[in-house]
Every structure is written in C-alpha cells, then in structure tokens.
Amino acid sequence: GACLLLMLSAGAALGPDDFVNSIVDLLKEPDKDLRAVACEQIREGTLGEDATRTFAALLPTLPPQVQVELLSALAARGDPVAAPEERKLREETESNDVRIAAVRALGKLGSADDLPDLVALLASPSADRKDAARRSLVELAGEEISAKITEMMRKSHPDQKVALIEILTQRRARTALDEILRQAKSDNATVRMAAMESLGIFGEPEHVAGMVEGVLKAEPGRERDTAEKRIMLVCHRIEDKQKQPAPLLAVMKNASDETHTILLSTLGRVGGPEAREVIEEAIRDPQRRRAGLEALCNWPHGSIAFRLLELARTED
C-alpha cells in the first residue's frame, strides 16, 4: 500500500488498466490517507468513461464512509456516466450521509430527469437533504435546466415557488426574469417579496416598468419600502448617474395622478437631478406636498441635507 501510494503520488508510469486497478485497490484500503490519494486520482488523474464506470460500479461494494468519499470524487470528476450508479445507490442506501452525498453529486452528474426529485427534496424535513438539493439545483448546468426550473416554479405552491425563485436567482437565469416579474405581482406577499428581491439582485433597467407593478401591488409599509429599494438597486446599475432615474421617470410620465404620487417615494430613493425636479414640483403642489417631502427623505445620499434643513425650518 505504501509503495503504491508513492507511485501514484509521483505519477509513476503505469498502463491505463493497471493504473485504474491500483486506484480500485487503494479505495478498499482501511487507511483514510491511502483512500484520499485514490480519490484525488479519480478527480483529476484518470480520464475516460470506462474508468468512470469502473469506479462507479464499486459504489455498492464499499462501506458508507468510503461511498461518501467516492461520491465526492465522482462529482468532482464530472462524468455523467456515473449517474446511474449514483441514483441506484441513493434509492437503496440506508445511510443518511450517503444519501446526502448522492444528492450533492447530482449537481455535477445529474440531468433534467433529476429535477422532480431534487425539487421534491426542497420540502424535506432534513435540513441537510434540503441544502444538498438546493445546491445541486444551483449547480446543474445548462439553459434547459433553468427553463425547466422556471416552468416548475410557475406551477408550484407558494413555499416551493419562493425556494425556486431563490435558486433561479443564484443561477442568474436571465431567461426566468419574465416569469419572476409576473411573480412580483402575485397575490401571495411572500412570493412577491422573493420575486422583488430576485429582481433587485440581477434585474436590469429594462425590467423597471414591470417592477413598478410589484411596488404598486406591495402592501404599504415594510413590503413596499423593500420593493422600492429593489428598483433603486436596478436603477443604480446605470453607469451614468444622470440617467439613473430615467427608467422610472418613463413609467411615471404616463401614469395616473394617483400612481405618479405613489411612485414619488421610489423616485426619491433613486435620486438624480431630474428626479429632484419632479419631487420639488410635487412639494409645490398642496395635494402632493407630503408625498414630495417623504420622497426627499428617501434621498440616497447626504447632498440633500441642506434642502431638508431648509424645509425643517419653514414647514408647519
């Protein structure tokens, strides 16, 4: 074992079959350090689907701790031909640790066929299984995966919908943005907040018009304040600070008087010279004065302080 360890660590020249057989022998060693060398070679030192099949076929013959180690190595190897053995082991094992490791491995080895099982695990009472499923749903590569998760999100119940919105956000699934925008107008407050949070993270200025509908749907108070801040984050992604309020002002231009007044609060959070002009105009209007004052109080930086001091001295 020690000689074999040195040979593998040094990258000694062996025939392909001998090299694979040597790794197989090391995996069966009771010494954890020897198995670690074998797993490292599985991750990076051997190529080809035949070798992957040989390693994956060992899974049912190994004790649980070694199964966990091998699953991690196969996942890092990223060869999907190991997936059938991984799925079989996940269904048959009685070890919770092995089951969790198998779910984690799906992020690198799985396919769209695994999505229903992974999504179902998001409701697992086991926090570890839930976290493993979430991580695999984030890691599974491809636009097809994002599209299928989006479709499942659209049809799911609110708790699951929130989890899938968060996963799509971590995936930066831009193809999901239209559906996430629709969810920002959901009748469920938790779903609305998750959707607006998502849009605040990776939405673009072109989505501001849709996000405004989310602000108007939000309950006044904490939910609406949070939704307004998400629009602020998106507008502030515009490099030219002079143009940051433009997407919101375009919506307000054609809005009803009532909607225009409601959106002053959001406009104040975005800031900018054009926003200031619109807000000052509102302050001069007795019917919209309070909304204008509150909008100024939302200003994103301290440059407005002197104007607020002036208003503090002159207001009733």
Listed in sequence order, the DSSP H helices in 122-256 are: 127-139, 143-155, 158-170, 177-183, 189-202, 208-217, 222-235, 246-253
Helix, strand, coil % (nearest 5) of the chain?
80, 0, 20
Span 69-75, average pLDDT = 96
Span 28-44, average pLDDT = 90
pLDDT band at residue 15, thresholds of 50, 70 and 90? low
pLDDT band at residue 18, thresholds of 50, 70 and 90? confident
Question: pLDDT tens digit string along 203-231?
Answer: 999 999 999 999 999 999 999 999 999 99
Between 32-40 and 16-27, two packed helices, what is the crossing angle to 10 degrees?
140
Question: pLDDT tens digit string along 79-110?
Answer: 999 999 999 999 999 999 999 999 999 999 99
Confidence at residue 4, expressed as pLDDT on a 0 to 100 scale: 53
Q: What is the sign of the dihedral through the CA atoms of 7, 10, 13 and 16? A: positive
Assess whether pLDDT exceeds 50 at residue 148.
yes
Residues 85, 120: Cα–Cα separation, whole Å: 21
* Maximum distance among all Cα pairs of the chain, rounded to whole angstroms: 90
